[in-house]
Amino acid sequence: MILDGWFYTGAAIGMMSAIICIVATIFRNHPADSSILSLVAVELYLFVYAIYALISPVPLNGPAWEFWGYIFTALILPPIAFFWGITDKTRWSNLVMAAIGPTILVMIHRLQVIWHG
């Protein structure tokens, strides 16, 4: 399997988002702006990744619906966590947002497996 720059970029953004959100959980009693902005960075990365996958010839070895299902699911997770964070005004909303980074990391890894076979 090939892990390319897309994977490493997504891994870096996802893990930085998780670290920012965990630190916000420790020090804040409500959702931090930095946590919300880290989710925006994750969503922006996923949007660019989806556009790249859409315009590039995707050498899928498996079913295409699985690949696009992962992308769609990855794209809706950060907005769900964002709305959780702005409606739940406790410190634990930061922790919910922290779960998005590692989840996206796993999903990007799976997308790489599907893409490269």
pLDDT tens-place string over residues 58-98: 665 566 788 899 999 999 999 999 998 889 888 889 999 99
Amino acid, single-letter form, for residue 53: A
Neighbours of 93 (CB within 10 A): 25
The fold adopted by the segment(s) 5-116 is Four Helix Bundle (Hemerythrin (Met), subunit A) (1.20.120)
Residue 60: per-residue pLDDT = 56
Longest CA span, the chain: 47
Tell me the torsion sign for CA atoms 2, 70, 32, 96.
negative
Global pTM?
0.89
Q: Which residue has the higher pLDDT, 47 or 62?
A: 47
